[in-house]
Amino acid sequence: MSIHEVAKLANVSIATVSRTLHNNPRVSPETAARVWQAIRELKYYPNTHARSLASGRSHIVGLIVSDITNPFFPEMVRGFEESASRRGYDTIIASTNYDPSRTATAVRRMIERKVDGVGIMTSEMDQNLIDEMANRDVPMVFLDVAAPSRRISNLRIDYVGGINLAVRHLLELGHRRIGFLSGPFELKSARTRHDAFIECLGGFGIFEDARLVEQGNHRIDGGLAAMQRLLQLDSPPTAVLASNDLTAIGALRGIRNMGLQVPDDISVVGFDDIDLAEFTEPPLTTVRLSRAEIAERALDCLLLNMDFGREGGSEVVIGTNLIVRKSTAPPRRKRRAETGQTITPAKGRARRERAPESIPGGRPAPR
Amino acid sequence: MSIHEVAKLANVSIATVSRTLHNNPRVSPETAARVWQAIRELKYYPNTHARSLASGRSHIVGLIVSDITNPFFPEMVRGFEESASRRGYDTIIASTNYDPSRTATAVRRMIERKVDGVGIMTSEMDQNLIDEMANRDVPMVFLDVAAPSRRISNLRIDYVGGINLAVRHLLELGHRRIGFLSGPFELKSARTRHDAFIECLGGFGIFEDARLVEQGNHRIDGGLAAMQRLLQLDSPPTAVLASNDLTAIGALRGIRNMGLQVPDDISVVGFDDIDLAEFTEPPLTTVRLSRAEIAERALDCLLLNMDFGREGGSEVVIGTNLIVRKSTAPPRRKRRAETGQTITPAKGRARRERAPESIPGGRPAPR
DNA sequence: GTATGGAGTGAAAAGGTTTTCAAGATCGAT
DNA sequence: ATCGATCTTGAAAACCTTTTCACTCCATAC
């Protein structure tokens, strides 16, 4: 059943039906009413394929993520799909699983579907594939990858700001020996976070100590293992910052496995604020990075670059802020758990940097 | 750039190009070679919209889930997208967020895109919408909703089997007072799981005790609250089975908050085996329900119903199995935590059913 | 009474592919 | 040499919509 039957029933031409469907003001109210009536009567749904073919716009946006199974992504996917839907676009999704061949397939599919834009939320993307799309004038938006260029926008995450907040928070609590649990260095986003950490520490006048950085894999098991290595040091850190929340959760576990307590023995700060962070034991202090905002901005960028043939891509900064929960506290203070459980004394480890000097340029610790 | 340019370059008609693209055996090898060469040379990608329009098949499948943010779904989405992609289909996704209007929109979009099939992984779906699709002969596959019918398949999850395994496991450990943390009864899937539990208990000759069932919301907070209510009972259960893992995780937390230990004071069993279950504290014993399998079978059903115009839908049973981790143990036995922590004695609560009678029809408890 | 202009509508082309039907070429058999 | 069968190819219709252009009315202005 097509526009023709509607036209026949409403006793108009198909052109008029089409115009009516698009609320074109040039069709008279009476005619429009008749047409809508016919549409309802026949339960007519326009054929998007014909539509795309004729108009050249598919009203589909693509979303490529590296691993939808990583808790960071579902919230983003949902936001993206929601935003897109609200603006009249359908979302076709691809989870590449870090596999280049799957990524290539995904790109091919996007091109074949003539997507009106694509969000690329994985940093591991072959330049050839990007070019392939660029050549076809597909607007793209990346997450923290490169400078914007023709029809290519970039969402720049304010890692430095977020990590600064986290580090300052720890410094204010009195920590001086702060460890970092990085992600896998193959991942650009992991490197960026790590570099921000080092830079930030430098900014506070604290020298880098390579032993305090351990590499995880952005998953729980990696965080656990990395934390265990850190705890093996002669003088382990009194606080650690993790490259993402999953890593932090692993760290929480690693610390508990050693018979230590968070935050009394060691403070832990995560990054991302995934849904789960609120529910860890103890609830995780973490740097929040709003996935909904990322999604929304991504769509903004895409639409901007397709609706007006505006050539230049934009760069928009995604802010971060610190969510203080229960996994951070001043160093070396013991306190009783609310449940009344007896506390295991931290097994005698050498500690240093006990002196609560004031933070360079900061205010005194809150307690 | 279209099939025409390829045709011109290869010096054949567009019909031949089309045939070549589909590996139609009636085009001679030499011609085919020439055509492929031209395709490569021009980097030609077929236009799927034209293709869909002409052929009537869109090679798109839809996937409707209730909330992609629920950890149960991402793994399924990934599996679905992967399976679909492997078979040459793109996936358009919709997360309805339990909102009927969003669901309606989703269905409308699916119809307009002329999806070749749709997986409906939310039990809350208006019959009108289903009819709308059925009238258009869209193959559908549901997760545990109704009996199969014309072009509608159903994946039946063996809840009863899984819950039986769990209950038997607990009985064998010596538990007799087993609580149930249900999901919200508005959700059909929650009711199904609850009913299976009651039925199963009956099968083992244990009477239902309504006080041992508390309702959560299939999320962590709901599980926590429900568990707290359960612990308020004069004689709380020695083990609880949760309607899903998130609820179980909440229960874990609720139990710990009361100063009790899992599994020493109370055993907890989850349902689903989400990725996270392996990483809870302690690791969660749970009934595994493979999302990858669900996804794969869903596609199977869909393809079956579209490729051959096979009218009848299928019903396929998705198996479940028990993954025993560390959250279950015999009741009332104290043991020291490996960490050497002092154990808080369970605050003097009345307990019953201590007698380790043998399980009706079961073998003796393993220890 | 004739231009002028705008509003409302329809006819038809265009968009890129699949698919049917027909035709030409080639080959083997008679 | 002719007929028929088989293989290969091309022409053209069909899929459903958007969009341009042109046309008809009708009202207004001169």
CA distance A49 to A54: 8
Q: In Å, how far is B312's CA from the nearest CA of chain A?
A: 24
Rounded to a whole number of angstroms, the distance between the first and last alpha carbons of chain B is 73
* Contact between residue A252 and residue A225 where contact means Cβ atoms under 8 Å apart: no
Asked if strand C contacts A30 at the CB level, meaning under 7 A, the answer is yes
Asked if strand C contacts B27 at the CB level, meaning under 7 A, the answer is no
Flag whether pLDDT at B352 surpasses 60: no
Mean of the pLDDT values across residues B189-207?
A: 90
Amino acid at B342: T
Provide the pLDDT for residue A357.
Answer: 40
Nearest CB to B113; choose among A90, A102, A257: A90
Flag whether pLDDT at A354 surpasses 70: no
Which pTM does this prediction carry? 0.85
**Torsion of Cα atoms, B283 then B284 then B287 then B288, to 10°:** -40
Q: Which nucleotides of C are covered by protein (CB under 7 A)?
A: 7-12, 14-20
Q: Classify residue B323 as exposed, middle or buried by CB count within 10 Å of its CB (0-12, 13-18, 19+).
A: middle
Confidence grade of residue B365 (pLDDT, cut at 50, 70, 90): very low
Q: Which nucleotides of D are covered by protein (CB under 7 A)?
A: 7-12, 14-20
CA distance B75 to B53: 32
SS3 for B144-205 is CCCCCEECEEEEEECHHHHHHHHHHHHHHHCCCCEEEEECCCCCHHHHHHHHHHHHHHHHCC
CA distance B123 to B98: 10
The verdict on a CB contact (< 8 Å) between A68 and B60 is no
Residue of chain A nearest B91, judged by CA positions: A92
Mean of the pLDDT values across residues A293-305?
A: 94
The verdict on a CB contact (< 8 Å) between A93 and B77 is yes
Tokens of A103: 């990524």
CA-based torsion, A83, A89, A95, A96: positive or negative: negative
B74 reaches A (C-beta below 8 A): yes
CB atoms within 10 A of CB B279: 19
Confidence grade of residue A309 (pLDDT, cut at 50, 70, 90): low
C1’ C14 / CA A27, Å: 23
Flag whether pLDDT at B242 surpasses 60: yes
CA distance B124 to B121: 9
C1’ D30 / CA A197, Å: 80
CA distance B272 to B321: 10
Provide the pLDDT for residue A343.
Answer: 34
Asked if strand C contacts A27 at the CB level, meaning under 7 A, the answer is yes
For B300-319, what is each residue's pLDDT tens digit? 999 988 876 667 788 999 99
Q: Classify residue A364 as exposed, middle or buried by CB count within 10 Å of its CB (0-12, 13-18, 19+).
A: exposed
Provide the pLDDT for residue A344.
Answer: 38
CA distance B258 to A340: 10
The radius of gyration of chain A from alpha carbons, rounded to an integer in Å, stands at: 27
Question: Rounded to whole angstroms, what are the CA distances from B114 to A46, A317, B54, B92, B284?
Answer: 10, 38, 13, 11, 42
Can you name the residues that pair with A286 across neighbouring β-strands? Answer: A270, A323
Nearest CB to A68; choose among B77, B102, B340: B77
Residue of chain B nearest A338, judged by CA positions: B257
Total length of chain A: 367
Cβ neighbors of B2 (< 8 A, separation 6 or more) are B44, B47
Mean pLDDT lowest for which of A76-85, A342-351, B243-252, B257-266?
A: A342-351
**Torsion of Cα atoms, B82 then B85 then B87 then B93, to 10°:** 90
Question: Rounded to whole angstroms, what are the CA distances from A367 to A121, A168, A264, A267, B138?
Answer: 41, 15, 14, 15, 64
CA-based torsion, B76, B77, B78, B81: positive or negative: positive
A344 reaches B (C-beta below 8 A): yes
3-class DSSP state for residue A318? strand
B77 reaches A (C-beta below 8 A): yes
Where helices occur in chain A by DSSP H, the ranges are: 3-10, 14-21, 29-42, 48-55, 72-86, 100-112, 127-135, 159-173, 188-203, 220-231, 245-257, 291-307
For A229-287, what is each residue's pLDDT tens digit? 999 999 999 999 999 999 999 999 999 999 999 999 999 999 999 999 998 989 999 99
Q: Which residue from A293, A204, A292 is spatially nearest to A241, judged by alpha carbons?
A: A204
Flag whether pLDDT at B179 surpasses 70: yes
Of A residues 7-46, those with CB within 7 angstroms of nucleic strand D are: 14-15, 18-19, 21-22, 44, 46
Provide the pLDDT for residue B145.
Answer: 80
State chain B's mean pLDDT as an integer.
Answer: 87
CA distance B19 to A213: 58
Flag whether pLDDT at B64 surpasses 50: yes
Q: Which residue from B140, B163, B174, B123 is spatially nearest to B355, judged by alpha carbons?
A: B174
B308 reaches A (C-beta below 8 A): no
CA distance B327 to B330: 10
Flag whether pLDDT at B364 surpasses 50: no
Flag whether pLDDT at A324 surpasses 60: yes
Tokens of B356: 């380790």
For A189-241, what is each residue's pLDDT tens digit? 899 899 999 999 999 888 888 999 999 999 999 999 999 999 999 999 999 99
3-class DSSP state for residue B267? strand
Question: Rounded to whole angstroms, what are the CA distances from B158 to B86, B245, B267, B290, B297?
Answer: 27, 17, 23, 11, 14
Beta strands B315-318 and B285-288 are unpaired
Angle between helices B29-42 and B3-10 (to 10 degrees): 120
A191 reaches B (C-beta below 8 A): no
Flag whether pLDDT at B115 surpasses 90: yes
Flag whether pLDDT at B320 surpasses 50: yes
Q: Which of residues 82-111 of A touch B (CB under 8 A)?
A: 82, 85, 90-95, 97, 102, 105-106, 108-109, 111
Residue with tokens 């055993």: B267
CB atoms within 10 A of CB A85: 17
Mean of the pLDDT values across residues B229-243?
A: 95
Q: How far is CA A204 from the centre of its chain?
A: 27
Across chain B, which distance is largest between two alpha carbons, in Å?
90
Contacts of A58 in chain B (CB under 8 A): 49
Provide the pLDDT for residue B309.
Answer: 60
Closest-lying nucleotide for B56 based on CA to C1': D15
Cβ neighbors of A101 (< 8 A, separation 6 or more) are none
State chain A's mean pLDDT as an integer.
Answer: 87
Q: How far is CA A45 from the centre of its chain?
A: 36
Provide the pLDDT for residue A191.
Answer: 92
Asked if strand C contacts B12 at the CB level, meaning under 7 A, the answer is no
Provide the pLDDT for residue A308.
Answer: 64
What are the φ/ψ torsions at residue B91 (nearest 5 degrees)? Answer: -115, 125
Q: Which residue from B174, B173, B127, B184 is spatially nearest to B152, judged by alpha carbons?
A: B127
* A90, A97, A132, A245: best to mutate for the B interface, most B CBs within 10 A: A90
Provide the pLDDT for residue A341.
Answer: 38
